[in-house]
Copies of this chain bind each other. A is one copy, B any other.
Amino acid sequence: MDVDPAKTAVVLIEYQNDFTTDGGALHDAVKGVMDDSKMLANSRRMADEARKAGATVIHAPITFAPGYGELGNHDKVYGILKGVIDSTAFVKGTWGAEICDEMAPAESDIVVEGKRGLDTFATTNLDFILRSREIETVMLGGFLTNCCVESTMRSAYEKGYDVITLTDCTAATSAEEQQAATSQDYPMFSQPMTSDEALGMLKGSGEVVDASRAYSG
């Protein structure tokens, strides 16, 4: 997998205060994994260096109107979106929904709008923007390792992108989930690697062991 910075986008998923920052509605749930891997510092460095290397940096925050009216009859909502409603996270106009200071978009970055579901491709213009800019490689980081990042990874692979998952730029609600997602699922739909390895590839000195896995593996 060759990486051309001009054809690469780093897609940063849900670096919003409700996840990233003390006092955020869901911060306590992910704090453990975040601290273990220093994912926020890694992500910040990744974004900074990727911009310098000439890659496109894209932010994909998730937001809902006050009251979560987009989700219809709340009695029928189940699964992770019920969790979002119950946590009162990601409400447009609140501090919790803002992208955190550490990951504030630079002027040249793109912020995709409209994310309501989990797979970033499903409810935003991400694919349109990637195609328009002739992006071939996407590098993914953010929250949660096995929820939005994984759904986005699966769709990116399905759509024919070269997908790199930045394992030390992701966080889940437990070490077990972090481990299971990155070791079992990520290799089927991406090349999982650390941000250091990814930056090496962006800068041309990359040397990455093929982590892909056969069904039988």
Q: Which residues of A are at the interface with B, using a C-beta cutoff of 8 A? A: 1, 26, 28-29, 65, 69-73, 76-80, 82-84, 86-87, 89, 110, 112-119, 122-125, 127-129, 131-134, 144, 146-147, 150-151, 154-155, 157-160, 162-163, 173, 176-177, 180-181, 184-185, 187-191, 210, 212-217
Contacts and interface: CB of A to CB of B under 8 A. Distances in A.
Given A83-B212, A83-B215, A89-B215, A116 B122 contact: no
Given A29-B215, A119-B154, 15 more contacts: A28-B216, A29-B217, A73-B133, A79-B190, A79-B213, A82-B212, A83-B213, A113-B113, A118-B154, A124-B124, A127-B159, A128-B158, A132-B160, A176-B184, A177-B180
A110 B69 contact: yes
Contacts of A151: 154, 158
Contact of A125 (B89, B114, B146, B180): B114
Contacts of A71: 132
Contact of A146 (B65, B160, B184): B184
A95 B130 CA distance: 28
A72 B114 contact: no
Contacts of A157: 79, 118
B216 A173 contact: yes
Contacts of A147: 185, 188
